[in-house]
Amino acid sequence: MPQNLVIVESPAKAKTIEKFLGKDYKVLASFGHVRALPSKQGSVDIEQDFTPKYHILPESKKHIDAIKAALKDAKNLLLATDPDREGEAISWHLLAALGLDKKNPGKSIQRVVFHEITKDAIIHAVENPRDIATDLVDAQQARSVLDYLVGFNLSPFLWKKIRYGLSAGRVQSVALRLVCEREKEIQAFKEQEYWTIAARLGVKPGAEFRASLVEVGGKKLGKFDIPDENVATALNRALKSGSYRVAKITRTERKRNPSPPFTTSTLQQEASRKLGFSAKKTMSTAQKLYEGIDIGQEGTVGLITYMRTDSVTLSSQALTEAHEVISAAYGAEYALAKPRIFKTKTKNAQEAHEAVRPTSIARTPAELKKHLTPDLFKLYELIWKRTVASQMAEALLDQTSVDIAAELNEAVADCTVAESGAASPFTGAKRCGLRAAGTVIRFPGFMKLYIEGLDDQDEEKEGLLPPLQEGDDLKLHELFPEQHFTQPPPRYTEATLVKTLEEYGIGRPSTYASIMNTLVERKYTRLDKKRFFPEDVGMVVNDLLVAHFSRYVDYNFTAGLEEELDQVSRGEKQWKPLLKEFWEPFITLLKQKEGEVKKDDLTTTELDEVCPECGKPLAIKLGKRGKFIACTGFKEGCTYTRNLESDASEPSEPVLSDEKCDKCGQQMLIKDGRYGKYLACSGYPACKNIQPLVKPRGTGVVCPECKEGELTEKKSRFGKLFYSCNRYPQCKFALWDPPVEQPCPKCGFPLLVKKVYKRKGEFLKCPKEGCDYTSE
């Protein structure tokens, strides 16, 4: 019988590790957490110094029993849970669940830690065990208790004051505040008009370039100095009369360094930008790469290091491998003489292990492609490229700036600014300045392999300039006056929300995926075209928390609490005094607000409008489906309601449709539902037939699964378009992307789908699992 019992968190990891350790080791999985605070009041005994009352999770009992049975024959217990605070706490909870939280003279109990699942790393960890780090356990306990104290006291308050089923969270509510405040900025935003003028110039035909107007009459142009079409037209007319020459050419060399290897947060951000992965999908895919993939002759092996980390450092072994791969694949000029070292910039960084990197950089994505699913391949390739690029030579760019002088034969005409009526300051000007810029990549360096994505703009592009000399006369080919309007700040994407939370030092990167998921599941927000839109209930909850619990949704306060948890993890602060410091002012404020805050103040706003049916005032109310207008006389029996967007003159009685019920023949009514307007039979409740108001639009593409139905355009419950067989529920084939009736040239699947990405443009892709064909 094996003398050594090793406990890890996942069964996939257990199989891989058991293969590395040999027959004298048995490896079992705890299947994640084994103990937790019960989801009920009283799970933390506040009177007894915040003592947590943990219980074994029902689904974990069978796993604990299996571990207990295996432990009877083993002499040594090795706790090999994940190498972070949560993993440390799971090891501590395991001992308690096994009844080994006190010294057991018959067993040797040790903690082993590794950051990658490779044979060398596992053997090194087993040969160098340690004790459980109680400071890390205390930090995790403090986090769990804090989250419990906030959630199980503030959530019932929301139930009483808004509606049942809502929740508040220490970090979740701060993330919601970010989304709601951005929405308020957008609503308050007032667009401002401005114009720009560009010119297409050239020394000779075929060598034209574009330059922008930057100066008029010796005055440098600001963003709003050409405020409207009147001024733009006057400038445009004068510029047509001008003669142009190259006044000055400035050439500068720029160096550009690569981004550091991935942390948890930057991996989530970049996978969102480049791959379109949600944070949740990124973490689950990375987990599979970490735990192990069967890659043929080597068997199952972990392909990346642990994916929950704040570190940007690489091991000496990884640096050596990267140097060898770069030299072999790109040449010595792309490799560094000595490794590039990055410093962690993350606020409240913890668990400074290695960055997320391939366990062996020699395993190129191309070699592993046949062993990986498309998603696993995409994420591995992203991690591999980012890691290798971080150790490649800097890029050398030649940047050229050309200043162009324009002598105007016709002075800028007198004109007025439309809005103010003031005369344009450019009236009478006879000289203008334009500028063109171009960048030439002299040596691509790391850019040959990888460039970091941007959040809300295209990659910066500066065109190439033709050969020019100072004093060259230029011919004007065309002018381009363009109208613009300022844009509100963009709504958050998953990538930008993660980035902002990390910049503030709020929460931990490993929890961001679940936080964003909760915001959507609770219907506080919705994701539309990958951007967060707050729902009515989310705005009301946020307004309540900001108005009455501002300290607890304050960005700096929440970040400061993270720093205090870090101090606990470093042994610089005790966890129970920290809880007491938080709890006493929090519960005092909560009790005070119980009496002060009234439900109607939050969920009802009276209008200066009377009910057309009973004459009582109307009010905006918050319902399960958002805000709507209702009569305040509902208690007296008035049932008048209408949509918030509806006009008061609209009839309140049901609207008859031209269509008849296909089941009973009676007239169909147009009704408003949770997801928009729909048709319902007027014979209800005898006939309960309902249909979409707009019938599903056919695509003309035959369903590839049943070969009988047609793929039709439909909307999901969250408003997202998808394409499914019109024979549903007999045939359940569906696609998220528009189908194109064209067989895949690689695998022969009957159709392709159309994809559109901001940077790649439009292309076709095979939707069949396992086929990687694209028309790019």
| Catalytic positions | 306
- Burial class of 635 by CB neighbour count within 10 A (0 to 12, 13 to 18, 19+): exposed
Which residue bears the tokens 């929300």? 497
Query: How far apart are the C-alpha atoms of 529 and 736, rounded to whole Å?
Result: 13
Structural tokens at position 384:
């591999």
Q: Which two tokens stand for residue 123?
A: 């053997």
Alpha-carbon distance 74 to 100, whole Å?
A: 14
661/294 Cα distance (integer angstroms): 56
Structure-token pair, residue 688? 């309960």
Residue 159's Cα: distance from chain center in Å?
Answer: 29
Q: What kind and span of H or E run contains 251?
A: strand 242-256
The contacts of residue 587 (CB under 8 Å, 6+ apart) are 153
Report residue 459 as tokens: 């990659």
DSSP annotation string for 71-92: HTT-SEEEE---SSHHHHHHHH
Picking from 539, 553, 540, 457, the residue whose alpha carbon sits closest to that of residue 504 is: 553
Instruction: State both tokens at 112.
Output: 């082993």
Distance from chain centroid for Cα 386:
19
| DSSP code per residue over 115-160 | SS-SHHHHHHHHHS-B---HHHHHHHHHHHHHHHHHHHHHHHHHHH
Is 714 exposed, middle or buried, given 0-12, 13-18 or 19+ CB atoms closer than 10 A? middle
End-to-end CA distance of the chain: 56
- CA nearest to 325, candidates 315, 336, 314: 336
The three-state secondary structure class of 239 is helix
Residue reference for tokens 């169909």? 668
Q: Mind giving me the DSSP string for 368-406?
A: HGGGS-HHHHHHHHHHHHHHHHTTBPPEEEEEEEEEEEE
Q: Are 435 and 401 in contact (CB under 8 A)?
A: yes
DSSP secondary structure string, 502-559? Answer: HHHT-S-HHHHHHHHHHHHHTTSEEEETTEEEE-HHHHHHHHHHHHH-GGGG-HHHHH
Task: Give the integer Cα–Cα distance in Å for 468 and 472.
Answer: 7
Residue 235 in tokens: 């400038």
Name 771's Cβ contacts closer than 8 Å, sequence gap at least 6. 744, 746, 747, 749
Cβ atoms of residues 631 and 616 within 8 Å: yes
CB neighbours of residue 98 within 10 Å: 18
| Residue 496 CB neighbour total at 10 angstroms | 20
DSSP per residue, 28-63: EE--S--EE--SSTTSEETTTTSEE--EE-GGGHHH
Dig out the tokens for 198 from the structure.
Answer: 């560009």
Question: CA 434, CA 756: separation in Å to the nearest integer?
Answer: 36
Return the amino acid letter for 380.
Answer: Y
Which residues have CB under 8 Å from 153's CB, separation 6+? 586, 587, 590
